[in-house]
Structure 1
Amino acid sequence: MAAMSDNTAANKKHWDVKAATYETDPKWEKSMAQLIAAVEERRDFIGVSWARKGESDRTVRMIDYACGPGTISRALHPYVTQCRGVDLSTNMVAQYKARAKVEPADEYQNLSGTTQGLTPEQMDAFEGNILDDDGAALSDPTLRDADLACVSMAMHHMDDPARVALKLVERLRPGGVLFVIDFVRHEVPGGGSGAEHGAGMGEVFDATPTIAHNGFSPEQVRDMFEQAGAGDDFAFELVDSVEMPASSTVKPVIFFARGTKKAAASL
């Protein structure tokens, strides 16, 4: 296993503490609800061949990386057959698993038609870092050949988001989709764009010490997708319907971006 960087260790510690209250924090509760709605409304933008109720002969697999308690997994679960969350936080993984088990399946419009919580086959999570050299923690076969890999509101915390994108695309089937949600790169008053990590966001994010990037420009995101091997049908869209808390100097804006892994050439 590769040595954990200081920033990665800080993120693990921070999100272990925040796991139990992440989705119920009054500062973020409204934004979370808006984000879930925006994701569901933009399924056509994401562009996956979604599962349909009653289908039993097709698997539509989703990897939710840096999944937290499973916010995006639960938003998209009605439209896939299998969700797999991955997070480096032990407590976030526990929250993900617990919420899948106890929340009523009808909240997800579950394709199986059951009224109980979701089974581990339908939704489960793994603790791990996709950048670890040996990858033993993430060797489960259900973490391969995915139709969709997503990272929501997490890349700005990562040391090397481009490498994370590359590693996720490796786990997609040919024709699979990489989907990223994050902040648009913002101007820092008196310092230009991204003058320092987390600059201008201290009043909003108590996670500022774990922020490695002040968002991403459309050009940066396109390049990230292309270098990762998911540049086909690339699309980038600002999402104004999600209102993020603002500081006195910065009003965050989020984006959705998607790209397709090149399909295998036919012989």
Structure 2
Amino acid sequence: MPVYFIHSKQVDRGKIILRDRLAHHLRDVLRLQKGETLLLVDERPKRYTARLVESQPAQLTLEVLQEESPPSFPLPALHLGIGLLKGEKFEWVLQKATELGTARITPLVTERAVIRPKADRVAHQQERWNKIVLEAAQQSGRWTLPILDPPAELLAFLTRTSGYGVKLIFWEGIPSESPRHEIVKAIASAPPQGAVLIGPEGGWEKTEVDAARAMGYQALSLGPRILRAETAAVAALAVVQYEIEGRGHGDH
């Protein structure tokens, strides 16, 4: 079942009041009927199973049937930095990274990036990207929305993530006969915060990899095949998330 994101101020004494675009979506698009139930999550985060009890033109009123807190075990928080990709490719990465539980996503302006942010389109792009992330988070039943940053320079990203426990940059220039073994070794401590760096369509310049290494990043391979950037992003996130969660952690 998908979840819908709300604010805690909309929850009051066992009732949830919706007056925003979500109310319109539930009533006029999904045709939610009285007595039907759905899942909602607020920013604390708390998750609610709620039933529609009243539908008015200006608002929906839901009755809380059950309230849940997130799992008590530590959650891995992966931060994806990825070189800007062309249109639908980047949007696909946003969707899949969100579904995989990524905590934060930063589009990067890199040396070989085909796409460069245009000042007159940044706000529109960000709005569209946020919508994609929201819909993916709803569909995948996440407890939280990932943070989606505006495009940043690689050096700014390296500085921002300098304190993370694990920092990985994936690069086809690294030979590896056993990529999974190398990844497992790199995340042996299963830290609460980790960064994953993926280059754009044209890959990384060696100077960029060197800069990341100088900031404590470990350069790794995803195997002998050359992957498209969007494939590499999903493959890297999936294997890192799987290995961390396999040590007793839950999904983000």
Provide TM-score, normalisation by structure 2.
0.34
| Greater percentage in strand | 2
Greater RCO, CA 8 A, separation 6+ = 2
Larger CA Rg, structure 1 vs 2: 2
